[in-house]
Chain A
Amino acid sequence: QSVQTQPPSASGTPGQRVTMSCSGGSSNIGSNTVNWYQHLPGTAPKLLIYSNNQRPSGVPDRFSGSKSGTSASLAISGLQSEDEADYYCAVWDDSLNGYVFGTGTKVAVL
């Protein structure tokens, strides 16, 4: 089940900046840190952002995350063709006592 809502799609041309939102509630985003994952079909998902805004080593600084209240967002600057993928926010939910993924946003590079 998904309790975080994401826009189903986002798009941009190469070099543009794309942002996507993740809207939750007090029991999840409002209380815990948010991670973001990139997923290409047929491959293992990849951790892009952890603890709201931290990048693991190897993740380009074109990717950035932020959180405010019960919402979070992911931004991709300098969009590249290889950024075409599905992006998911994820967070622990204290009410559900489980880790919950958002509905996902499909990014297209035009």
Chain B
Amino acid sequence: EVQVVESGGGLVQPGGSLRLSCAASGFTFSSHDMSWVRQAPGKGLEWVSGISHNGGRTYNADSVKGRFTISRDNSKNTLDLQMNSVRAEDTAVYYCAKMVSRSRDGVDVWGQGTTVTVSS
């Protein structure tokens, strides 16, 4: 079964850091681009960051540029999101997302999400 499972969410103070992780299984991880997508309370889905299948290219939404860094380890089938200088507006459920193939093809498999709350 194709599966992605997030971990690492929690409560973090404004200006602090948090690292999210995603464990993938059931597919050839190194053949697929991956992304993080979030949903803030009462808001719609927002794509946050993406990374190419080999880690050679990364993409970020304007809202997180310079603060969030996406990375992957194809030897461990894991995807990470390093969140620095977090703000209240980063409070959201964060989903790990497997892309159909390349990032422009879109998401076909989603995790259940991990909740990040930014508050003092």
Contacts and interface: CB of A to CB of B under 8 A. Distances in A.
Interface string A64-92: 00000000000000000000001010111
Contacts of B61: 1, 98
A29 B62 CA distance: 20
A33 B35 CA distance: 18
Interface in A24-56: 32-33, 35, 37, 39, 43-47, 50-51, 56
A63 interface: no
Contacts of A51: 105
**Interface size class for chain A?**
20 to 34
A101 B95 contact: no
B45 A39 contact: yes
A101 B110 contact: no
B62 A37 contact: no
Interface in B4-35: 35
A32 B104 contact: yes
B35 to A, nearest CB: 6
Nearest to A32: B104
A103 interface: yes
A98 B59 contact: yes
Given A50-B108, A99-B103, A37 B45 contact: yes
Most buried by A among B35, B59, B107, B109: B107
B33 to A, nearest CB: 10
A99 B35 contact: yes
Contacts of A32: 104
B63 A88 contact: no
A2 B107 contact: no
B111 interface: yes
Given A88-B45, A98-B47, A103-B44, A50 B106 contact: yes
28 contacts: A1-B46, A1-B63, A2-B44, A33-B104, A33-B105, A35-B106, A35-B107, A39-B45, A44-B95, A44-B112, A47-B107, A47-B109, A50-B105, A50-B106, A50-B108, A90-B45, A90-B107, A91-B106, A97-B59, A98-B47, A98-B50, A98-B61, A99-B104, A101-B37, A101-B44, A101-B45, A101-B46, A104-B44
